[in-house]
Amino acid sequence: MVAATRHDLHPMPTCAICGVPIDGPPLTDDETTAVLHPACAADRLAGDLAVAGLALAAALLARVAVVWAG
């Protein structure tokens, strides 16, 4: 019989974005139960905002183009 180690009882969670173990306070997504580093979540948020901004600009420009074309 082998005694369980501390890591066997409570394994350290790994970040869903970078895959590195999280040693500190993680961010948890309630819907998917994914665990993230705060820095990884901040990096992803910046990229998501850029994509959302481009999508909004494309939607507005498409509407202007249709009105302008008559």
Residue 64 falls inside a structural domain:
yes
The 10s digit of each residue's pLDDT in 16-65 is 999 999 988 898 888 888 899 999 989 888 899 999 999 999 999 998 98
Q: Which domain holds residue 33?
A: 12-69
User: Is 41 buried (19+), middle (13-18) or exposed (0-12) by CB count in 10 A?
Assistant: middle
Residue 55 falls inside a structural domain:
yes
Whether pLDDT at 4 is above 50: no
Residue 47 falls inside a structural domain:
yes
Number of domains in the chain: 1
Q: Which pLDDT score is estimated for 55?
A: 96
Helix or strand run (H / E) with residue 9: helix 6-9
Residue 5 falls inside a structural domain:
no
Residue 6 falls inside a structural domain:
no
Q: Is residue 1 very low, low, confident or very high in pLDDT (cuts 50, 70, 90)?
A: low
